[in-house]
A = this chain, B = another copy of it.
Amino acid sequence: MSSIRRISRQVDVGGIKIGGGAPLILQSMTNTRTTDIPATAAQINRLLQAGCDLVRIAVPDEASASAFGEIRKLVKVPLIADIHFDYRLALLAIENGADKVRLNPGNIGSFDRVKKVLEAAAKRKVPIRIGVNAGSLEKKLLYEKGVSAQALLESALNIAYKMEKEGFYDLVIAGKASSVMQTIEVNRVLAKETDYPLHLGLTEAGLPGAGSIKSAAAVGTLLAEGIGDTIRISLTGDPLQEIRDGLVILRALGLKPPGLEIISCPTCARTNGDVETLARRLHSEFESIDSTLKIAVMGCEVNGPGEAREADIGIAFAKKGGGLIFRKGEIIGKTKDAYKTMAEEIWGLIGEKSKVESQMSEERKSRF
């Protein structure tokens, strides 16, 4: 990553650092009932296994606040309590061990109430995220400025400055909209105007696919400009997809260590074999493997090995059928069974250790 990162203050969320030069933190949020303690804990563990760094949980009522405490004991990751409307739920969440509290200035009510949360948070060194959403702005701001980057900015800064007056600086700020451009704009200004760590994401991005692409455009742009300390890719559905897509973005920008990557050409009139089917089979077979291998599937022998020179292992389909197998751009052999040879080569490179750890993928393999 060649861009210079904006260095913010650092906050400590139960041992995980956000900002101040710390590695980018990837978040998600549970969508189970918080009061369903086993289901919520299980979802958190799946998120962690997929590469999630921090998990947020909605605390919509008292029962959820106390469940939050139970879940906190069951999982090995700091937990963030997501609070709307009722400041007393924030107090309860802090009592129950919340490592960070998200408040929405658009609906949390008078600052006198927020002050009580600040006191409790300061006592237990719990950072607060000011989470402003385009859809839940204070009525006054909404009336004056409409849904705009400026309104998001003012909403966040108004409450941050009030918190500072109370001596509270342990803040993360987020300004989210479902508009990519508004999200980019508000964060560019927040990055200039404050030294707080910034939490990036779109709200209501939608389903995986279009939602992932919009999120990548917004979050990717900001990260590539050096802005952002933690991200959440909000997608409708299983939150695991948020982690998969978030990792693609962070790895693509060099902000997380690389994982297994399959590159493949878009195919054209020169293509000799079924690039798509092979790429999909290898993806299914190896996607969950913990490895940094770069695998290439290329459609022609003329461009293929060169175009995928940096791949650890690759195949270029040949005009006369079958394919050329190459490593780091050097042809090492030919094959008539592209999938079998590639899978064997990749398993060989991954080594015996990972093979055992990945028995789970056997089931998927048998589908083919």
Contact = CB atoms under 8 A, between A and B. Distances in A.
A133 B280 CA distance: 24
Interface stretch (A12-20, A110-118, A152-160, A258-266): A258-266
Contacts of A268: 29-31, 58, 82
A185 B278 CA distance: 31
A315 B309 CA distance: 50
A342 interface: no
A206 B264 contact: yes
Nearest to A262: B206
Copy number in this complex? 2
A207 interface: yes
Interface string A120-136: 00000000000001011
A283 interface: yes
A214 B248 contact: yes
B34 A269 contact: yes
A252 B275 CA distance: 30
Contact of A279 (B135, B185, B207, B266): B207
A271 interface: yes
Contact of A269 (B33, B136, B249): B33
A58 B242 CA distance: 36
A292 interface: no
A307 interface: yes
A167 interface: no
A239 B266 CA distance: 8
A60 B135 contact: no
A60 to B, nearest CB: 5
Contacts of A307: 133, 135-136, 203-204
A170 interface: no
Contacts of A265: 203-204, 234, 236
Nearest to A283: B207
Interface in A1-56: 1-2, 29-35, 40
Interface string A198-237: 0000011111011111101111110111000000001111
Interface of A: 1-2, 29-35, 40, 57-60, 64, 82, 84-85, 133, 135-136, 147, 178, 180-181, 184-185, 203-207, 209-214, 216-221, 223-225, 234-237, 239, 242, 245, 248-249, 252-254, 261-271, 275-276, 279-280, 283, 296-298, 302-303, 306-310
Output the residue of A35, A209, A296 with the most chain B CB within 10 A.
A209
Contacts of A29: 266, 268
B252 A217 contact: yes
Contact of A266 (B218, B225, B242): B242
Contacts of A235: 266
A135 B309 contact: yes
Given A40-B269, A180-B224, A213-B252, 12 more contacts: A58-B268, A60-B270, A64-B269, A181-B254, A210-B261, A213-B248, A217-B220, A220-B221, A221-B221, A236-B264, A236-B265, A236-B276
Contact of A264 (B40, B204, B213, B216): B204
A86 B259 CA distance: 38
